[in-house]
């Protein structure tokens, strides 16, 4: 089955700087890679996803890049703001119907 | 429209008691997932339902855990003879397909 590794487990950046979180996956057949944001005490919510037919996708200050050859994908947040502080989870498919989630990255934005 | 709802939001129980957690998925979503999230940890897959197919129970940690779903509607996760290590937030999610999963607010279970 799919194995997803996420790094770093914690990340602290100054407000306005960029943050990058990386995930690797094991199944070369995987074709869908979502990122979820979970604020303290809240439910996880999808913030961006990418399919394997593209290498990069952007949505305002958030972008995701995918390297299928190396089997890794990354979340990039630019011009970070205090409200970006949260735990971020990546995921990759395991089989036709399940997602396997990474262990999460706790991002702290320092004012 | 209404999102995924779960009840109760909080449950405190004594060790050895049985508990039932409920999930109401988004109407029309054929897929329903249960996850466990221990404090400060990631999302641990428990069980998955897709339409009328046999559920994928590969994530259930022991035979004390079971879940049911009636058609494409409500699901119930049951934990029998609860143990302290069962304390966690239990999250339910639903989706139209495997892709975007919509999570409920979770049930925080505390076993004393």
Q: Would you give per-residue pLDDT tens digits along chain A (111 residues)?
A: 788 999 999 999 999 999 999 999 999 888 899 999 999 999 999 999 999 888 999 999 999 999 999 999 999 999 999 999 999 999 998 877 788 999 999 999 999
Beta carbons of B7 and B76 less than 8 angstroms apart? no
Pairing of strands B5-7, B19-24: antiparallel
Distance of alpha carbon B94 from its chain centroid, rounded?
A: 11
Distance of alpha carbon A79 from its chain centroid, rounded?
A: 17
CB contact under 8 A, B100 and A99: no
pLDDT of A52 reads 83
pLDDT of A83 reads 96
Task: Give yes or no for a cis peptide into B109 (omega within 30° of 0).
Answer: no
pLDDT (mean) for B45-51: 91
On chain A, the residues whose CB falls within 8 A of the CB of B32 are: none
pLDDT top residue among B96 and A80 = A80
A106 to chain B: closest CA residue: B40
| A90 close contact with B: CB closer than 8 A | no
Closest partner residue to B43 among A93, A96, A101, by Cβ? A101
Closest partner residue to A43 among B56, B91, B98, by Cβ? B91
pLDDT of B53 reads 87
Tokens 């940690």 sit at which residue?
B61
pLDDT of B87 reads 97
pLDDT of B1 reads 58
CB contact under 8 A, A100 and B42: no
Q: How many CB pairs under 8 A join A and B?
A: 45
User: How far apart, in whole angstroms, are the C-alpha atoms of residue A29 and residue A85?
Assistant: 32
pLDDT (mean) for B75-92: 97
A33 to chain B: closest CA residue: B99
Q: In sequence order, what are the beta bridge partners of A106?
A: A10, A87
Beta carbons of B77 and B46 less than 8 angstroms apart? yes
HSE value, Cβ hemisphere, 13 Å, CA-based, for A39 = 8
Tell me phi and psi for residue B49, to 5 degrees: -115, 140
């Amino acid at each position: 089955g799919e194995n997803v590794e996420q790094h770093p487990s914690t990340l602290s950046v100054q407000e306005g700087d960029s943050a990058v979180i990386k995930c690797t996956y094991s199944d070369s057949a995987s074709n869908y890679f979502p990122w979820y944001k979970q604020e303290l005490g809240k439910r996880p919510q999808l913030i961006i996803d990418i399919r394997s037919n593209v290498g990069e996708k952007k949505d305002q200050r958030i972008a995701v890049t995918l390297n299928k050859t190396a089997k890794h994908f990354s979340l990039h947040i630019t011009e970070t703001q205090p409200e970006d502080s949260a735990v971020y989870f990546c995921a990759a498919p395991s089989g036709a119907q399940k997602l396997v989630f990474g262990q999460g990255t706790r991002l702290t934005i320092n004012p | 429209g209404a999102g995924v709802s779960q009840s109760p939001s909080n449950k405190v129980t004594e060790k050895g008691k049985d508990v039932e957690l409920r999930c109401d998925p988004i109407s029309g979503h054929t897929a329903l997932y249960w996850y466990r999230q221990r404090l400060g940890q990631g999302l641990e897959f428990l069980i998955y339902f897709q339409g009328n197919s046999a559920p994928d129970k590969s994530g259930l940690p022991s035979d004390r855990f079971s879940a049911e779903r009636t058609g494409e509607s409500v699901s119930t996760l049951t934990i029998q003879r609860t143990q302290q290590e069962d304390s966690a937030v239990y999250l339910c999610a639903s989706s139209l397909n495997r892709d975007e999963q919509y999570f409920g607010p979770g049930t925080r279970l505390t076993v004393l």
